[in-house]
Chain A
Amino acid sequence: MLARTADNLFWLARSMERADYIARTIEATLRLEYLPKTDSEQVGEWEGALNAAGAHESFVEKHGELSEEAAIEYLTFDLANSSSIRNCLENARAAGRAVRTALTAETWTAINDAWLELKRFETKRRVSRSLDREELMRFLDYVKKASLDFDGACYRTMLRNEAYWFNRLGVFVERADNTARLLDVKYHLLLPSTETVGGPLDYFQWVAILRAVSAATAYHWVYRDRVKPWLIADLLILKPAMPRSLISCYESIDTALDALARDDGRSGLAQRQARAMHAKLERSSMTEIFQGGLHEFITEFIEDNARLSTTISDQYLFN
């Protein structure tokens, strides 16, 4: 397979996954708004959302002053934000178009339909200047559905060859990054000590975290208990059954890299790095992680995950 094709497939999947995550983050943040709190707290939530999207620094550079409206605009339609939903979908389609022959008709249609719908929202927005709350919710719903369509089309129609495995790698490297960033922003809420000080506000914060990774229902199925912060951390880091947990992502990354190695008969640094990270997660317990510092653990994970992405690029000659 052409290295450019593999590169495009990888980033196509990352872009679609990221669009979904940003839509969920906005949704969860909007829900927090309904809780009684001060204006500064309110704005703080959007700072968190921007951080979770890895877009806070560039936002401050561009806008300086933080407001809900500016944050939503920056995360959804802003051309200047490389991770805005609009740019994610635009990049996904450009990548898909460049590798059209490596995609099934269904996969391409999912990407193209998502893009066409985006254009309709953009037109609507131009006409009425901004989207009202109702229209914004519809937009976020559509983004989540587009990502589901894409993922489903890949899973159901693609041959299990390199094209599929590079696609899977993109999905799970991005997903691991997203979950880790969310944890990084909210880690202070998840420390065990907060149980005693946690008021109702904290409770809704915890639920918001679960919602951002569509795990609110899953939590109850897994723990059959009221929402406790350290269990949220456990769910999102160490539970293999939870599809957005770090360990689950690494299980999938491992599988994809092993399949690539099996197909081309070459195993390299990427395989070794991924295996080491997976093994580390398997050995870990939440007690140890809290002892060593949740923040430190997550920061290190984000760095390692980014390093793996670079290793994959190097090993498969994307660069």
Chain B
Amino acid sequence: MAAFDEMGMASGETRPLYRQVARWLEETPPELLASRRAQAEYMFRRIGITFGVYGDKDAAERLIPFDIVPRLISQAEWRKLEAGLTQRVRALNLFLTDIYGKRAIFRESIIPPELILRNPYYRPEMIGQRAPHDIWVHIGGIDIVRVDADEFYVLEDNARTPSGVSYMLENREVTMRLLPDLFARHSVAPVDDYPDQLLACLRSVAPRLNGGAATIVILTPGAFNSAYYEHSFLADKLGVELVEGRDLFVEDDQVFMRTTLGPRRVDVIYRRVDDDFLDPLVFNPASVLGVPGLVGAYLAGNVTIANAIGTGIADDKAIYCYMPELIRFYLSEEPLLKNVPTYRCREPTSLKYVMERLDQLVVKEVNGSGGYGMLVGPHASAAQREQFGAKITADPSNYIAQPTLALSTCPASFDGGVAPRHVDLRPFVLSGADGVRIVPGGLTRVALKEGSLVVNSSQGGGTKDTWIVDDPEGSA
């Protein structure tokens, strides 16, 4: 199964889009590439130290490797992606409005009701509730892979608190500094207005009419959270307060933060805290990360929480496989982006099919994330497959399986030269009362280990800058 290389490395025929990058890779002496790599690492370490928060030893561990070769996507390709992403997130919002509201979907037997109603991420507290403006997923991270020149697949919908956008922005800063000539030879769509777009999106859903004067905060679990760097980065870029649960309190169903000037009313909370920890009165009573009474204030319509409570159901892998049907049902449109064919082990025929082909499939835990709790069949040993097979048989409905896609590759730069590595893409989709915004680009994650398909940073993945560039001349 030969993977599609986005530059055309394997075929020896460079795709027109990558002409300049190929020339640059060819013309740049290996020593210079090596020094660029070292510079990039140094810059990230500086950022890690100035923003971040980890010590010497920790910083080295936490530093997510960055590959200097940019990943290119043409405007034409991007327009297709953009339309597909917009469609997808609109459907997710309609789906959430429906399952917490009228539940029209159950009448059509498109999706087994118990799959939703018994799902741990379905929040009974939200039944009968509408999210302000019917927007649930304000910030969505939709993971995309491609397998050839034309086909993009959605791998996962992240509808809770997707992270990584700080890397998208930092990667761009670093490439612009390190590769100014290569950058200048392309017309790259800018991403640096993401913080402004996010701010506009959050303002648009403020409960009081004075959206312009709305007080917005970012709620973090605290300095010891692994994504704290991103939380403080965003607060800094947005110019809003980074609060912890203890900085907020609720009175008369209104949320206030404790400031040096006394209590100040809060209108929109961009939370990076999971549902479970938001409000000890409603969810996990032991949580100290949340704010007692927050859910009450939300239900009273006095504060907007982004993303809304209860979106976890929409990024559940068991729901994912119904997305094409959901798009058709809610939008009466054909899905623009494909879903990876998915076998639900809860269905006996699928289970049988999966168990017979463990050596060919990728099997994932329905609620797993970060590349944990999964089996990459073709790369696993017989013993690993047997062990995993037993887990599936014990609890089939907790697993889904997908064919191993031949993820596309992009050139990556190493000490030994330039070599293709598998990539995916996480664009960030913002939904506000005034529509959907997508900054042209996203976070490209790259599996730096040769042959590896796992791009998660916890599993040795790295990142690349993603350039949305003008269509090459002479292409349709």
Point out residues on A near B: beta carbons under 8 Å: 1-6, 94, 97-98, 100-101, 105, 108-109, 112, 115-116, 119, 162, 166, 264, 266, 316-317
A100 and B55: CB pair below 8 A? no
A170 nearest CB across to chain B (Å): 14
Residues of B within 8 A of A264 (CB): 260-261
A261 nearest CB across to chain B (Å): 12
B259 touches which of A3, A100, A105, A112 (Cβ 8 Å): A3
A265 nearest CB across to chain B (Å): 9
B236 at the interface (CB under 8 A from A): yes
What separation, in Å, do the CA atoms of A317 and B246 have in the docked complex? 13
B53 and A317: CB pair below 8 A? no
B232 at the interface (CB under 8 A from A): yes
B56 at the interface (CB under 8 A from A): yes
B258 at the interface (CB under 8 A from A): yes
| Contacts of B434-472 to chain A: CB distance below 8 A | none
What separation, in Å, do the CA atoms of A245 and B24 have in the docked complex? 63
A108 and B50: CB pair below 8 A? yes
A3 and B50 in contact (CB under 8 A), knowing A101-B235, A115-B55?
no
Residues of A within 8 A of B53 (CB): 97, 100
B258 and A2: CB pair below 8 A? yes
A105 and B50: CB pair below 8 A? yes
The 6 closest A-B pairs by CB, nearest first: A105-B50, A316-B260, A3-B258, A100-B232, A97-B223, A6-B260
The tally of CB-CB contacts under 8 A between chains A and B is 57
What separation, in Å, do the CA atoms of A84 and B222 have in the docked complex? 26
Which of B88-96, B102-110, B237-245, B332-340 contacts its partner? B237-245
A90 nearest CB across to chain B (Å): 11
B50 and A109: CB pair below 8 A? yes
Point out residues on B near A: beta carbons under 8 Å: 49-51, 53, 55-56, 222-223, 232, 235-236, 241-244, 246-247, 257-262
What separation, in Å, do the CA atoms of A279 and B246 have in the docked complex? 38
B247 touches which of A2, A101, A109 (Cβ 8 Å): A2
By DSSP majority rule, is chain B's interface helix, strand, loop, or mixed?
mixed
Residue of B nearest to A95 (CB): B223
Residue of B nearest to A108 (CB): B50
**Listed A/B pairs (25) with beta-carbon separation below 8 Å:** A1-B241, A2-B243, A2-B247, A2-B257, A2-B259, A3-B247, A3-B259, A4-B258, A5-B241, A94-B223, A100-B51, A101-B236, A105-B50, A108-B50, A109-B50, A112-B49, A112-B55, A116-B56, A119-B56, A162-B260, A166-B260, A264-B260, A317-B258, A317-B259, A317-B262
What separation, in Å, do the CA atoms of A97 and B225 have in the docked complex? 12
Residues of A within 8 A of B247 (CB): 2-4
A1 and B259: CB pair below 8 A? yes
A3 and B260 in contact (CB under 8 A), knowing A97-B223, A98-B223, A100-B51?
yes
Residues of B within 8 A of A316 (CB): 260
What separation, in Å, do the CA atoms of A166 and B50 have in the docked complex? 21
Specify which of A2, A109, A112 lies most central, judged by the most chain B CB atoms within 10 Å of its CB: A2
A101 and B55: CB pair below 8 A? no
Residue of A nearest to B246 (CB): A4
Residues of A within 8 A of B50 (CB): 105, 108-109
What separation, in Å, do the CA atoms of A166 and B261 have in the docked complex? 13
What separation, in Å, do the CA atoms of A101 and B51 have in the docked complex? 9
B55 and A2: CB pair below 8 A? no
Specify which of A3, A101, A162, A166 lies most central, judged by the most chain B CB atoms within 10 Å of its CB: A101
What separation, in Å, do the CA atoms of A116 and B52 have in the docked complex? 13
Residue of B nearest to A317 (CB): B258
Residues of B within 8 A of A116 (CB): 55-56
B242 touches which of A3, A101, A266 (Cβ 8 Å): A101
